[in-house]
Structure 1
Amino acid sequence: MSSELMDALRQLAREKNIDEIEMLDRLESTLATTYKKTLDLENDARVTIDRENGRIRVFELVPVGGTEEEPVFEENDITPSDISRFAAQAAKQVITSAIREAEREQIFEEYADRIGDSVTGTVQQSDSRYTLIKIREGVEALLPPAEQPPNERYDHNQRIKALIIDVRKSSANEPSIVVSRTHPNLIKRLFELEVPEIYDGIVEIKSVAREPGLRSKIAVSSRESGLDPVGACVGPKGSRVRMVVAELRGERIDVVPWSETPSAFVGNALSPAKVSTVITNDAEHTATVIVPDDQLSLAIGKEGQNARLAAKLTGWRIDIKSVAQAMESGLAHAIAAGETMVVEEGDGRCIAETSDGIRCRNKSLPGKRYCRIHDKEAGASA
């Protein structure tokens, strides 16, 4: 191998960010394997490449003693006359492999810190096994079936957005980047792209609940007084939220105001249903929500979807009752109060409050929320 070829290898190694020593070591190993097979050697071969002039020498390693663990070899020089032809072929193979590995390593290093970011790409291939997305030239991502909403199908060259959920050191035939279209944080990233107030940190998405392809809820708050966070996310005539819905293929999105008061947050989360009363039990982290009779089905939602998403969004277990059901359950006093009631402790105390907001000190009856006195009043008002 000529010194000119050595110079070319060094230049290529620098351009592709490949370790020169490692590349030459691999070339020596590849040539040793090639010559053992080509020359039909009984023993292993060793190849050396002079790092200055590129001269290649081939040796057969003939065992002459030692032990099985530490054999001793005699090196016989068997360098063939036409070594340059073999060297050029092996060099091409090693360089191609090294370049591919270097590119995979560069992709890993570039994207390893981007887990949780959104990316845009074009669909290259889609079948029942996986969907392959081209992010840019030489960079592809894998969208597994488990990360695809059930209602989505992808066409060749279709542009889609997805969330990076994993970056791994992969084999030659598998992309390093794994993306998702079902992850709740994809909604956060899409709103960041459409709502400047979120991108700038003025409006914050506090929580997300999602049933991919069907419906989602997001709770938002504002760090700036006077700014309506819901309005900022929805946009003029719904323009901003419409862009997110379009990217998610029609997935319905409810934007609700977040509140640090659990009862208010639970009530907001059940939007678009109207809520009359919310009774929270901090100890058990449960909320009993009373809604007008004509709002019950809306509050629960189709197959329980609205209630389920509200529970995910708030982190509270939610029990929804109509006014009629609440009356039958002995919650007439709560309905009559016409306001949110909070059970601060699961200590068995009566939940009734005076007009001044002072809670009754009596113990509640077994299996009920009121003491004997207030239970009678609740029954009478019912």
Structure 2
Amino acid sequence: MNVDFLEALEQLAREKGIDKEVLLEAIEAALISGYKRNFNSAANVRVDIHRDNGEVRVFARKTVVEEPEDTRLEISLDAARDMNPNYQVGDVVEIEVTPRDFGRIAAQTAKQVVTQRIREAERSVIYGKFVDREEEVVTGIVARIDPRVAYIDLGETEAILPQSEQMPTDKLQMGDRIKVFIARVERTTKGPQIVVSRSHPGLLKRLFELEVPEIYDGVVEIKAVSREAGYRSKIAVHSRNPEVDPIGACVGTRGVRVQSVVTELNGEKVDIVEWSEDPATFVANALSPAKVVDVQIDEEEKVARTIVPDYQLSLAIGKEGQNARLAARLTGWKIDIKNETQASENGLFGDFDGASDEDEDEIGQLSDDWLTEP
């Protein structure tokens, strides 16, 4: 190694954001291992790289004793004092043992160490950049498609889009440009692993933030999201400014804003409802597009019992219970639905009519989907 090597190392350190001294210390540590491996040396050696001219020197470290038992590790007091009369028993003497052809080993080792450290630094930079972007939406290009996972090129690295995180309506092709939600970023032995999603409820929220300036500015707030990816979603919004209509802001002129979101989600239907502090009002809104006649709240059982017009019972429940299920997830309440005739005949709220037992169980259960707490 020489001055040119040191200059190249310094430039590389600046470009990659690595401390030059850290690189040199790593090279020195690697050279110790290389020296032991190639010259069958004892463990007590030190390698020094001159910081000005790049000269590499190897020193054997020996302890001063009266009578040495292992000459690789120890040196007699008389021999030590021949080098320096001030040595005492217990001192450590360094004797240069640099082999003639050690420069070749040093150059090869340095290359390996620098390459490894640069790779580690680049991985660390990528991890640091993307770990701060968790729960954000990014645009990527479909690079490869395997049966169980798609690889999305994000520019600096690839993210993985597992099949479980894809929308049922996604028909991905290589080269497609898509928006994905960064679900998590993990450190692995092969570098950072970025897992993205197209089915996460957070994707819907972030897409609205991108399309609706009032949400980005904080005037309109997304309070809750429930989603069955690829089919239907509900989003509850609230305006901090009484003069701003939160639903109108999200829909946009002639529906242009919500349509942009729907297009990105391959036609997934999106219901935008107004959030309310009053649970009864919120539940009634969440069952949109069905009109709710009355809502009774059971705080103890966390059940909202609702009455809808006879002709809207199936609309309130939805296909296979979808509308009621999404409303339950959105509000955090178990929702029991009756039509007016049933409520009038029974004088109380009963079980679901017009839905199978399986659907009733589905409708009544709350989801583990991500919710923004009211």
- Please give the range of the TM-score, normalised by the shorter of the 2 chains: 0.7 to 0.9
Q: Structure 1 length as normaliser, TM-score?
A: 0.77
Of 162, 177, 180 in structure 2, the residue corresponding to residue 159 of structure 1 is: 177
Match of 1:233 in 2: 250
Is the contact between residue 123 and residue 191 of structure 2 (CA under 8 Å) also seen in structure 1? no
In structure 2, C-alpha distance between the alignment counterparts of 1:174 and 1:113, rounded to whole Å: 16
Of 314, 322, 325 in structure 2, the residue corresponding to residue 305 of structure 1 is: 322
Of 106, 127, 133 in structure 1, the residue corresponding to residue 146 of structure 2 is: 127
Deviations 1:91-135 (A, max 9, x none): 222112111111122222223332222211112222234332222
Match of 1:4 in 2: 4
Is the contact between residue 63 and residue 72 of structure 1 (CA under 8 Å) also seen in structure 2? no
Which amino acid is the alignment partner of residue 228 of structure 1? D
User: 1:271 aligned to 2:284?
Assistant: no
Task: Name the SS for the 2:307 alignment partner.
Answer: strand
**Which structure has more RCO (C-alpha within 8 Å, separation ≥ 6)?**
2
Match of 2:203 in 1: 186
Of 268, 281, 287 in structure 2, the residue corresponding to residue 251 of structure 1 is: 268
In structure 2, C-alpha distance between the alignment counterparts of 1:97 and 1:114, rounded to whole Å: 26
Alpha-carbon shift at residue 62 of structure 1 (Å): 9.2
Q: Structure 2 length as normaliser, TM-score?
A: 0.78
In structure 2, C-alpha distance between the alignment counterparts of 1:151 and 1:87, rounded to whole Å: 57
In structure 2, C-alpha distance between the alignment counterparts of 1:212 and 1:281, rounded to whole Å: 30
Alpha-carbon shift at residue 169 of structure 1 (Å): 3.0
Is the contact between residue 262 and residue 280 of structure 1 (CA under 8 Å) also seen in structure 2? yes
Alpha-carbon shift at residue 38 of structure 1 (Å): 4.1
In structure 1, C-alpha distance between the alignment counterparts of 2:340 and 2:137, rounded to whole Å: 44
Task: Name the SS for the 1:175 alignment partner.
Answer: strand
User: 1:48 aligned to 2:48?
Assistant: yes
Match of 2:136 in 1: 117
In structure 1, C-alpha distance between the alignment counterparts of 2:192 and 2:228, rounded to whole Å: 27
- Summarize the Cα distance change of 1:290–1:72 in structure 2 as closer, same or farther, 3 Å threshold: farther
Which amino acid is the alignment partner of residue 116 of structure 2? S
Alpha-carbon shift at residue 309 of structure 1 (Å): 0.4
Is the contact between residue 117 and residue 163 of structure 1 (CA under 8 Å) also seen in structure 2? yes
In structure 2, C-alpha distance between the alignment counterparts of 1:152 and 1:63, rounded to whole Å: 71
Q: Which moved more, 1:237-246 or 1:83-92?
A: 83-92
Task: Name the SS for the 2:147 alignment partner.
Answer: coil
Unaligned segments of structure 1, at least 5 residues:
66-70, 333-382
Unaligned segments of structure 2, at least 5 residues:
66-70, 75-93, 350-374
Match of 1:108 in 2: 127
Deviations 1:318-372 (A, max 9, x none): 001112221232149xxxxxxxxxxxxxxxxxxxxxxxxxxxxxxxxxxxxxxxx
User: 1:90 aligned to 2:109?
Assistant: yes
Task: Name the SS for the 2:267 alignment partner.
Answer: coil
Match of 2:68 in 1: none
Task: Name the SS for the 2:311 alignment partner.
Answer: helix
In structure 1, C-alpha distance between the alignment counterparts of 2:132 and 2:277, rounded to whole Å: 32
Is the contact between residue 42 and residue 72 of structure 2 (CA under 8 Å) also seen in structure 1? no
Match of 2:158 in 1: 140
Match of 1:380 in 2: none
In structure 2, C-alpha distance between the alignment counterparts of 1:64 and 1:93, rounded to whole Å: 36
User: 1:294 aligned to 2:294?
Assistant: no
Which amino acid is the alignment partner of residue 286 of structure 1? V
In structure 2, C-alpha distance between the alignment counterparts of 1:125 and 1:63, rounded to whole Å: 60
Is the contact between residue 142 and residue 175 of structure 1 (CA under 8 Å) also seen in structure 2? no
User: 1:32 aligned to 2:32?
Assistant: yes
In structure 2, C-alpha distance between the alignment counterparts of 1:25 and 1:153, rounded to whole Å: 51
- Summarize the Cα distance change of 1:144–1:58 in structure 2 as closer, same or farther, 3 Å threshold: farther
Alpha-carbon shift at residue 273 of structure 1 (Å): 1.3
Match of 1:219 in 2: 236
Alpha-carbon shift at residue 181 of structure 1 (Å): 1.9
Alpha-carbon shift at residue 151 of structure 1 (Å): 3.5
Deviations 1:148-187 (A, max 9, x none): 233324222221112223233333x343433222221211
Is the contact between residue 42 and residue 73 of structure 2 (CA under 8 Å) also seen in structure 1? no
In structure 2, C-alpha distance between the alignment counterparts of 1:145 and 1:237, rounded to whole Å: 35
- Summarize the Cα distance change of 1:4–1:312 in structure 2 as closer, same or farther, 3 Å threshold: same
Task: Name the SS for the 1:169 alignment partner.
Answer: strand
Alpha-carbon shift at residue 60 of structure 1 (Å): 6.7
Is the contact between residue 116 and residue 163 of structure 1 (CA under 8 Å) also seen in structure 2? yes
What is the root-mean-square deviation in Å for CA atoms of aligned residues? 2.7
